[in-house]
Structure 1
Amino acid sequence: MKWAVLSDIHGNLEAFNAVLDCLSKEGIDRVAFLGDIVGYGANPNECIDLLKDIADIIVAGNHDYGAVGLTDASGFNPAARAAIEWTAKELSTINRNFLSGVHLISIRDDIAFVHSTPYNPQNWDYLFYQDDLTMNFDSFQTRICFIGHSHVPVVFKKDKEGKTSSSKTLTVRLEEGGRYIINVGSVGQPRDGIPDAAFGIYDAKECVFTLKRSPYDIGTAQKKIIKAGLPERLAARIAIGR
């Protein structure tokens, strides 16, 4: 079984289409999406419609819930809040209802899929530090938990002795007895200094996770953001991956 694991499209149709082009060459069996279909970018409805056609698993992100009033967006930074308010007005009734019905976590084939963290996912916390790993590993029972939210790819491991570590290696072979929390980065707004769309492929048969990158038409995505009247900062940042 070969999984494609995507997160944080954020209404960036150009990045999403570039990733789908890559996936068509990878022999993918299942597609999982880890939340934040919308927010920041100018094509929320188009991204939702496309994702519904191709994804086997979809979980909700904070921007998805924020756009439909299921989470409080007042604490978002000004640009993010402006984008959520714009998105809320743009969403079709069908897509508003769809986002309202998406759950926070899904489990399939000894894998957990969640947007933020397995520990209290509704709090939308970020997982950056070793100090937070123990409570998060204790919060799920599967071998692997895939996450997004931070837009920064990283692999956290807990070995069979209970020791935790982190790695930004692009390809990781899962060790027997090890458990993993894997952040697959962001399709539509990477923040690791690389503007190319990020996504993951997990080959369950070979027990190998690979982080993939895909260039896309950033200029067109930027023009759409500006034309929509969204904050210019949102257009500028996708060109630098921050």
Structure 2
Amino acid sequence: MTPETQHIGALRGKVLIFGGVYSNYQALEELYKLATKENIPAQNIICTGDIAGYCASPVECLDFLEDWGIRAIQGNVEQNLLNGTDDCGCNFSEGSRCDFFAKQWFPYTAVRMTRRNLNYLATLPLFIDFEYAQKRVKVLHGSMQNISEFVFKSTPWEVKATSFEAANADVILAGHCGLPFADAQADKLWLNAGVIGMPANDGTPRVWYVMLDDANDTFSYEFRSFEYDAGEANQLMMENGLPYSYSETLLTGLWDNCDILPDEETALQGVAIEL
């Protein structure tokens, strides 16, 4: 049985952090090319969860990540696939558009899971912790308390502080919310790399990840974005009867709705992100 937390010791050199593959094989393939170009070893690449979901290629993405040999944690999607639950566990409001669409894409994903996929998911921990440039780092999906908790930049620091206390960490690398951001207070840093499977609701088809650097034994980070063959990913979604609105998001960069977003993030819909 995989432990709740995987302790991986100290990492050195550049570390690539990404999340939310969302079954988008075309985006994952492009990220692999970027990582290979920069000579980032697999042990220095970490996924913050939600490998499956939304898009059309869950099996291909899970097989690819397992073969790549990178580190990853479970997101709520992986947890619910393992538990045999009939929904994604994304913490969507009952009856919302997100909830409506999840009832379409989650069964599509669940029915395609192979024994290999489920065995791989069962090896993934809920958390990873490591030391990096004299910082204690914790990788989680939503929060320490709730794998499905949406934490945004506008989320009050008091909420984030509870996770820092529980994690005993200086840096938290999080996923789930779909938007890239950094928030720092009192020598603590909450860093969300964003996701590669869907655009960040900013009106562009770009997707996001983060590169950590320990040059001069100093912790630093850089948000990076890239484009990929979103047209092919869009076409595969339509061919497989997945939600049209979500397939269009891959091209327009705009989410179908802002149900999960606080007012501050909602006001930024369609505004190109600069990080």
Consecutive unaligned residues in structure 1, runs of 5 or more: 160-177
Instruction: Report the CA distance between 1:71 and its aligned residue.
Output: 5.4
Report whether the alignment pairs 1:46 with 2:72.
no
**Which of residues 178, 188, 193 is equivalent to 1:184?**
193
Report whether the alignment pairs 1:107 with 2:133.
no
CA spacing shift, 1:63–1:115, aligned 2, 3 Å: same
Could you tell which deviates more after superposition, 218-227 or 132-141? 132-141
Deviations 1:73-100 (A, max 9, x none): 2765121231111111111111022223
Report whether the alignment pairs 1:93 with 2:115.
yes
Determine the structure 1 residue equivalent to 2:168: 141
Instruction: Report the CA distance between 1:72 and its aligned residue.
Output: 6.1
Q: How many residues align?
A: 222
Determine the structure 2 residue equivalent to 1:152: 179
Determine the structure 2 residue equivalent to 1:4: 16
Q: Which amino acid aligns with 2:180?
A: P
**Which of residues 60, 76, 86 is equivalent to 2:74?**
60
**Aligned partners of 2:146, 2:139: CA distance in 1, in Å?**
11
Report whether the alignment pairs 1:232 with 2:244.
yes
**Aligned partners of 2:65, 2:207: CA distance in 1, in Å?**
16
Instruction: Please tell me the root mean square deviation across aligned C-alpha atoms, in Å.
Output: 1.8
Q: Does the aligned pair in 2 maintain the 1:157–1:179 contact within 8 Å?
A: yes
Q: Which amino acid aligns with 1:198?
A: W
Q: Does the aligned pair in 2 maintain the 1:153–1:192 contact within 8 Å?
A: no
CA spacing shift, 1:82–1:67, aligned 2, 3 Å: farther
Q: Does the aligned pair in 1 maintain the 2:22–2:50 contact within 8 Å?
A: yes
**Aligned partners of 2:33, 2:103: CA distance in 1, in Å?**
31
**Which of residues 217, 225, 229 is equivalent to 2:229?**
217
Q: Does the aligned pair in 1 maintain the 2:23–2:51 contact within 8 Å?
A: yes
Determine the structure 1 residue equivalent to 2:258: none
Could you tell which deviates more after superposition, 208-217 or 197-206? 197-206
CA spacing shift, 1:71–1:204, aligned 2, 3 Å: farther
Query: What is the SS of the residue equivalent to 2:195?
Result: coil
Could you tell which deviates more after superposition, 100-109 or 149-158? 100-109
CA spacing shift, 1:115–1:103, aligned 2, 3 Å: same
Instruction: Report the CA distance between 1:152 and its aligned residue.
Output: 0.4
1:197-216, aligned counterparts within 5 Å?
Answer: 197-205=207-215, 206-216=218-228
Q: Does the aligned pair in 2 maintain the 1:14–1:218 contact within 8 Å?
A: yes
Instruction: Report the CA distance between 1:43 and its aligned residue.
Output: 0.7
Instruction: Report the CA distance between 1:208 and its aligned residue.
Output: 1.3
**Which of residues 28, 34, 38 is equivalent to 1:16?**
28
Instruction: Report the CA distance between 1:135 and its aligned residue.
Output: 1.6
Q: Which amino acid aligns with 2:177?
A: S
Q: Does the aligned pair in 1 maintain the 2:209–2:224 contact within 8 Å?
A: yes
**Aligned partners of 1:72, 1:141: CA distance in 2, in Å?**
34
Q: Does the aligned pair in 1 maintain the 2:164–2:170 contact within 8 Å?
A: no
Q: Does the aligned pair in 1 maintain the 2:234–2:247 contact within 8 Å?
A: yes
Consecutive unaligned residues in structure 2, runs of 5 or more: 1-12, 93-98, 256-275
